A = this chain, B = another copy of it.
Amino acid sequence: MACEQETAAILRGAGQRVTPQRLLVAAVLRHAGRHLSAAEIAREVRARYPVVDVSTIYRTVEMLKGLHLATATDMGGDDLLFEWSAGEAHHHLICSRCRAMQVLDRDYLDGLAERVGRDFGFQADVHHFAIFGVCRDCREGAGA
């Protein structure tokens, strides 16, 4: 509710129109607290608003991305996953074997960004990284 007001204000301020679909997509992402696929967002949104097409989800998320309100990440699955991007930047360690995922604090990559910026003038977007590998459990469990 308060959230919706805030989202509306941001959209309006960016010269974007405020529609119920957009507010709902934003609200769903904001309160999910996790990564959602386009299909999942659609399901959640439809629970509160009858007919919303997936294409609208994609178009809306694309716009939210432009406003830096959402991020899209390939987490190794079949589809892109979207997430509300307010709050602290963070990263993910994703196990290639068991798919387990754990959050990695932003400071693990801040140094890299600084160094790359200093050395190459490259402004790295290290807001949301997916790092693949093998987790502790899988390493201890399986042989290798």
B residues in contact with A135, CB < 8 Å: 120-123
B93, B108, B116, B131: the one within 8 Å of A104 (CB): B116
Assembled-state Cα–Cα distance A134/B122 (Å): 6
What interface size band does chain A fall in? Answer: 20 to 34
Q: Would you call A88 an interface residue if the criterion is a C-beta within 8 Å of the partner chain's C-beta atoms?
A: no
Chain A residues in the interface with B (C-beta under 8 A): 74, 93, 95-96, 102, 104, 108-109, 111-112, 115-116, 120-126, 131-136, 139-140
Q: Which 3 A-B pairs rank lowest in CB-CB distance, beginning with the nearest? A: A121-B136, A124-B133, A125-B133
| Besides A108-B112, A123-B139, 13 new A-B residue pairs in contact (Cβ under 8 A), listed by A number | A93-B116, A93-B124, A95-B122, A102-B122, A104-B116, A108-B115, A112-B112, A116-B133, A122-B133, A122-B135, A122-B136, A125-B131, A125-B132
